[in-house]
Amino acid sequence: MGSVWAIVVAAGSGSRFGAPKQFQPLGGRRVLDWSLEDARTVADGIVVVLPPSVVATGEPEADAVAGGGDTRSASVRAGLAHVPPDVDVVVVHDGARPLAGSDLFSAVVAAVRAGADAAVPGVPLADTLRWRSGGVADRDGLVAVQTPQAFRAAALRAAHEDEPEATDDASLVEAAGGKVVVVDGSPLNLKITNPSDLIVAEALLRAR
């Protein structure tokens, strides 16, 4: 397969964080900058999806900028509209995951080039899972899914054709009949959700 483009989704308002977390300082840079840097290690081009209110300011580290939608899936579709039609592999990554690392990007792209329609990183669950209605769930066959997620471009476009909604794009591809594989994720690949996550991320950056 040939060219790879990445869509870095950074359109959130940060309602739980208290501010747009993708623009918060981390290790002397913004959280978003780390995500863009890792994406660039595999991508020939990058579309960054930003809050509509800041799209006009642009993003120098990206090849294209799109305004986000009301949902995550809508934001991905906004980014996908800027991906050239001849691209073979599309990687979707959360701008609030600054510690994914280049190896994880390479792993999901390689899995798609090996024949999968989609590849997602997954990590084993450490905690016991319990149903709210009662009873403990079997965690042995479960993983916590992360980004970056890589896709055969045609499969991702087809999965979004009718504008469906899901918490991640691999679910849409799978629902459309695509083959999704899980690669080893990283327990260090945390998503910045609360202010305390920045403290953890700073420590992890220093360690690596």
The pLDDT of residue 19 is 84
Asked, for residue 153, whether it belongs to a domain, the answer is yes
The residue whose two tokens read 């083959």 is 179
In this prediction, residue 1 carries a pLDDT of: 59
Note whether residue 131 is domain-resident.
no
For residue 27, tell me if it sits in a domain.
yes
Contacts of residue 134, defined as CB under 8 A and 6 or more positions apart, other chains included, come to none
Tell whether 34 is covered by a domain.
Answer: yes
Residue 100 lies in a domain: yes
Report whether pLDDT(93) > 80: yes
The answer to the question of residue 179 being in a domain is yes
Average pLDDT value for residue range 118-123: 98
Among 125, 121, 123, 122, CA closest to 136:
125
- Cα–Cα distances (Å) from 94 to 33, 50, 103, 107, in that order, read 12, 11, 16, 17
Mean pLDDT of 20-37: 96
Domain count across the chain? 1
Q: List the domain range (segments joined by +) for residue 79.
A: 4-124+138-207
Instruction: Establish if 88 belongs to a structural domain.
Output: yes
In-domain check, residue 130: no
| Whole-angstrom distance, CA of residue 19 vs CA of residue 115 | 40
CATH number at residue 142: 3.90.550.10
Average pLDDT over residues 139-153: 94
Q: Is 160 exposed, middle or buried (0-12, 13-18, 19+ CB in 10 A)?
A: buried
